[in-house]
Amino acid sequence: MMRHFINRLNTGTLDYDFLGRWRRWFVISGVVLALCVLGLVVRPLNLGIEFRGGADFQAATTVTESTVDDMRAAVEATDLPDLDGTTVTTIGDSTVRVQTRTLSVDEVVTVREAIAQQVGIGSEEVAYSLIGASWGEQITERALIALGVFLVLVMLVIWIYFKDWKMSVAAITALLHDLVVTIGIYAWSGFTVTPATVIGVLTILGYSLYDTVVVFDKVRENVVGLRDQRRTYTQAANAALNAVLARSLNTTIIGVLPVVALLIAGAAVLGQGPLKDLALALFVGMVAGAYSSIFLAAVVLAKLREREPAMAEHRRNVERRLAKEQKAQEQPGPEAVPVSAGSPASPAAAGDGSAAAAGRDRVRAGAGARPLSEGASRRPQPRRTSRSDRRRP
Please, which pLDDT band fits residue 183 given cuts at 50, 70 and 90?
very high
Residue 26 pLDDT exceeds 90: yes
Tell me the average pLDDT of the chain.
79
* pLDDT range class, residue 355, cuts 50, 70, 90: very low
> When comparing pLDDT for 361 and 11, which is higher?
11
Of the candidates 311, 241, 225, the one whose C-alpha atom is nearest the C-alpha of residue 20 is: 241
Say yes or no to pLDDT of 345 above 80.
no
> pLDDT at position 171, please?
92
Amino acid symbol at 37: V
Give yes or no for a contact between 193 and 135, defined as CB atoms under 8 angstroms apart.
no
Please list, in sequence order, all residues whose beta carbon lies within 8 angstroms of the beta carbon of residue 13, skipping any fewer than 6 positions away: 242
Least confident of 13-17, 327-331, 389-393: 389-393
Can you give the pLDDT at residue 35? 95
Domains 24-46+135-319 and 54-126 share a fold: no
187-230 residue pLDDT tens: 898 888 888 888 888 888 888 888 899 899 999 988 887 777 77
pLDDT of 311 reads 82
- What is the pLDDT averaged over residues 253-259? 88
The pLDDT tens digits of the residues spanning 107-165 come to: 899 999 999 998 888 888 899 888 876 777 787 788 888 888 888 998 899 999 888 89
Into which CATH architecture does domain 24-46+135-319 fall?
Up-down Bundle (1.20)
CA atoms within 13 A on the CB side of 243: 15
375 closest CA partner among 386, 363, 362:
362
- Predicted local confidence at residue 27, as pLDDT: 94
HEC-encoded secondary structure of the chain: CHHHHHHHHHHCCCCCCCHHHHHHHHHHHHHHHHHHHHHHHHCCCEECHHHHCEEEEEEECCCCCCHHHHHHHHHHCCCCCCCCCCEEEEECCCEEEEEECCCCHHHHHHHHHHHHHHHCCCHHHCEEEEECHHHHHHHHHHHHHHHHHHHHHHHHHHHHHHCCHHHHHHHHHHHHHHHHHHHHHHHHHCCEECHHHHHHHHHHHHHHHHHHHHHHHHHHHHCCCHHHCCCCHHHHHHHHHHHHHHHHHHHHHHHHHHHHHHHHHHHHHCCCCHHHHHHHHHHHHHHHHHHHHHHHHHHHHHHHHHCCHHHHHHHHHHHHHHHHHHHHHHCCCCCCCCCCCCCCCCHHHHHCHHHHHHHHHCCCCCCCCCCCCHHHHHCCCCCCCCHHHHHCC
Domain ranges of the chain: 24-46+135-319, 54-126
Which span out of 89-93, 342-346, 369-373 was modeled with the highest average pLDDT? Answer: 89-93
pTM above 0.75, yes or no: no
220 neighbors 163 (Cβ within 8 angstroms): no
Section 262-276 average pLDDT:
67
Task: State pLDDT tens for residues 63-119.
Answer: 888 888 889 888 888 888 888 778 888 877 888 888 888 888 888 999 999 999 988
Q: Could you give phi then psi for residue 90, rounded to 5 degrees?
A: -120, 145
For residue 4, name the pLDDT band (cuts at 50, 70, 90). low
**How confident is the model at residue 387, as a pLDDT?**
55
pLDDT band at 335 (very low <50, low <70, confident <90, very high): low
127-131 and 54-60 beta bridge pairing:
antiparallel
CATH architecture of 54-126: 2-Layer Sandwich (3.30)
Q: What is the pLDDT of residue 386?
A: 55
